[in-house]
């Protein structure tokens, strides 16, 4: 409006002001009319209220426009009275929208809480299922460990007893049978103590660790005319725990039992060597008997004895190497230095 006062000549000022007034009035009334369709198309209380109010504005605007154009001195204008009503209408509409948004937020929070509860219940059920799986896996592992212990412990003792009875030059006395039964009892006690988590004490030297095994198999080797060589250092390269000694003993017993059963060897050597480079130790078991195809055994699947030997060593973090051929069989078991881990536990 100010721009028209400066740019339009004074004789044209009245017509220009009237034109601008009519244009603004038509824009306002046109918007009030055009908004009816979207407001009535999606009906709710606030939209209907706004549509009715815009219709009222349209009627009042047409009335005042006619009054200004054709009856400027006779008709009273209604537009000044619509300001307060407009504020009240806008306030009601805003309050309705705020209430609607609050209900929507409340409903969303309720749905979100329901989803969280459902997810929590599902997660709890998954944890319970995982716990059951872990328990079943633990039971299966305990059964497998017990199977390996029975096979490597009692199985080895039974094999030694059977070999001694078979190659005995004369019927064995009651004391001899009682001795074998005591050995079986001791092996069974060791297995039960190991399963119960008994805190056994590790032998102080390799010779002390080897003594029971050497005593058991020494007599059998003598009866079978097998030369046995036992090479042990004076001290451990690092002090092992009882579980390390038990695993090495079971592996050695299984290896010697396999030599007696399958190899037809005449010489057996068991030696424990220190590994200065890594401060570890290696148990080497070798014989000069009839070997087998180690690669074929790896491909076809090992027997329970070989599987047990490998599993025991790998559980301790060691390595297990098997080489077999016409010149005999070599088993090398390497354990790294675990003294720092033992001290930490």
State mean pLDDT over 112-123: 94
171 plus 100 within the same structural domain = no
**What secondary structure does DSSP assign to 78-118, as a single string?**
-GGGHHHHHHHHHHHHHHHHHHHHHHHHHHHHHHHHHHHHH
Is 281 domain-assigned?
yes
60 plus 153 within the same structural domain = no
Is 60 domain-assigned?
yes
205 plus 100 within the same structural domain = no
Q: Give the C-alpha separation, 176 to 161, whole Å.
A: 10
Is 306 domain-assigned?
yes
73 plus 151 within the same structural domain = no
Looking at mean pLDDT, say which of 66-75, 90-99, 172-181, 214-223 comes out highest: 90-99
Which of 59, 86, 110 corresponds to the end of one domain? Answer: 110
Kind of pairing between the strands at 267-275 and 227-231 = parallel
* C-beta of residue 334 within 8 angstroms of C-beta of residue 319: yes
State mean pLDDT over 196-220: 79
* C-beta of residue 189 within 8 angstroms of C-beta of residue 129: no
Is 241 domain-assigned?
yes
Percent over 70 (pLDDT), the chain: 72
151 plus 266 within the same structural domain = yes
* C-beta of residue 191 within 8 angstroms of C-beta of residue 228: no
pLDDT digits (tens, 9 = 90+) for 282-340: 999 999 988 877 666 655 555 666 777 788 788 888 988 888 888 889 999 999 887 76
Distances (CA, A) of 49 to 28, 58, 65, 310: 18, 14, 24, 84
Q: Per-residue confidence at 31, pLDDT binned at 50, 70, 90?
A: confident
276 plus 200 within the same structural domain = yes
153 plus 86 within the same structural domain = no
Which of 110, 134, 158 corresponds to the end of one domain? Answer: 110
In total, how many domains does the chain have? 2
Is 61 domain-assigned?
yes
pLDDT digits (tens, 9 = 90+) for 125-141: 999 999 888 888 888 87
191 plus 77 within the same structural domain = no
pLDDT at 310: 83
pLDDT digits (tens, 9 = 90+) for 38-54: 778 877 777 788 788 88
Is 123 domain-assigned?
no
153 plus 287 within the same structural domain = yes
29 plus 153 within the same structural domain = no
Domain that holds residue 42: 2-110
pLDDT at 123: 94
Give the global pTM: 0.51
215 plus 296 within the same structural domain = yes
Looking at mean pLDDT, say which of 140-144, 180-184, 227-231, 261-265 comes out highest: 227-231
Orientation angle between helical segments 242-258 and 155-167, nearest 10 degrees: 40
Is 117 domain-assigned?
no
Is 125 domain-assigned?
no
């Amino acid at each position: 409006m100010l721009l028209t006062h400066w740019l339009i000549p004074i004789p044209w000022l009245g017509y220009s002001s009237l034109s601008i007034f009519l244009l603004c009035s038509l824009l306002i009334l046109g918007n009030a009319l055009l908004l009816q369709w979207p407001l009535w198309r999606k009906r709710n209380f606030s939209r209907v209220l706004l549509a009715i109010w815009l219709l009222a504005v349209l009627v009042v605007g047409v009335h005042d426009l006619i009054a200004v154009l054709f009856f400027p001195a006779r008709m009273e204008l209604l537009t000044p009275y619509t300001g307060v009503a407009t504020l009240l209408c806008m306030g009601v509409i805003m309050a309705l929208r705020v209430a609607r948004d609050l209900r929507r937020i409340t409903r969303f929070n309720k749905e979100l809480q329901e989803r969280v509860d459902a997810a929590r219940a599902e997660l709890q059920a998954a944890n319970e299922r995982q716990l059951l799986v872990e328990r079943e896996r633990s039971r299966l592992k305990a059964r497998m460990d017990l199977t390996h212990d029975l096979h490597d412990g009692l199985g080895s003792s039974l094999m030694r007893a059977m070999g001694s009875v078979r190659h005995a030059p004369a019927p064995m006395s009651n004391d001899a049978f009682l001795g074998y039964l005591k050995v079986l009892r001791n092996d069974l006690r060791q297995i039960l103590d190991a399963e119960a988590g008994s805190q056994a004490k590790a032998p102080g030297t390799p010779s002390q660790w080897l003594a029971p095994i050497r005593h058991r198999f020494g007599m059998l080797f003598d009866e079978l005319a097998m030369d046995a060589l036992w090479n042990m250092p004076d001290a451990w390269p690092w002090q092992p725990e009882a579980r390390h000694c038990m695993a090495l003993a079971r592996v050695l017993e299984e290896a010697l039992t396999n030599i007696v059963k399958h190899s037809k060897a005449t010489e057996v050597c068991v030696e424990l060597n220190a590994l200065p480079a890594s401060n570890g130790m290696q148990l080497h078991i070798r014989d000069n008997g009839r070997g087998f195809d180690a690669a074929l055994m790896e491909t076809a699947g090992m027997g329970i004895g070989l599987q047990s030997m490998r599993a025991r060593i790998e559980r301790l973090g060691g390595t297990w190497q098997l080489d077999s051929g016409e010149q005999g069989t070599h088993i090398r078991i390497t354990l790294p230095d675990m003294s720092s881990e033992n001290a930490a536990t």
